[in-house]
Amino acid sequence: MSNQEIRKLLTASRKALTLPARAGYSEQIMRHFMNWFKQLQQARPEKNVWRVAGFWPIKEEPDLIPLLTQLDELGHEVCLPCITMLDSPLEFYRWTANTPLQPGKFNIPEPQLNEKTAVADIILVPTLGFTRDGHRIGYGKGYYDRTLAQLQKKGHVFIKMGVAWDEGEIMTDYLPEPHDIPLDYILTPSGLHTPLPE
């Protein structure tokens, strides 16, 4: 099965989720994240402020805006991705609940470009589909793969966490593209999953 066929199946599965189901699942995802994040803070007591890159939900994606708002209120730095040039890596700009938004390149709300954020400690990656060994399939534009690859090439250390519905697990044979960047964690309504060794 081609990657495009897999995307079509995953998109149809996602669209079949009702709005109430997505809302409930989003709450579960946010709860799992906060449980993990509290443990991370306990393990790193010297670090007071964490930079977290989230995303604005589109195409029936999990809605993490309440989580991002909570992190901001707790004093952490939250940012959202911006497409400043087509086919280039994403840039991340500071976001709070009061930040004015503007339509981006694909009509996705983006923060007005006023305060670029330093490299995030945790990048929440919107994930259409995933495998248990940590590979991700997105919408095929390659923005996150380019972004993660560029950050890693520059030597930045950060956590790559895919965010998906459980229905996004790829059960058929999937061959990742050579440029695909594997995830460190996969966050779904059923929990936070650590990829299995290949």
Report the amino acid identity of residue 114.
N
pLDDT in tens, 119-148: 899 999 999 999 988 999 988 788 999 999
Give yes or no for a contact between 94 and 79, defined as CB atoms under 8 angstroms apart.
Answer: yes
Q: Which pLDDT score is estimated for 197? A: 64
CATH superfamily to which 3-193 belongs: NagB/RpiA/CoA transferase-like (3.40.50.10420)
Domain regions of the chain by residue span:
3-193
According to DSSP, the residues that pair with 30 across neighbouring strands are none
Q: 């400043």: which residue's tokens?
A: 84
pTM higher than the cut 0.95: no
Q: Which pLDDT score is estimated for 172? A: 80
Q: Mean per-residue pLDDT for 156-172?
A: 94
| Whether pLDDT at 23 is above 90 | yes
Burial of 10 (0-12, 13-18, 19+ CB in 10 A): buried
pLDDT over 90, % of the chain: 67
Tell me which H or E stretch contains 12.
Answer: helix 3-15
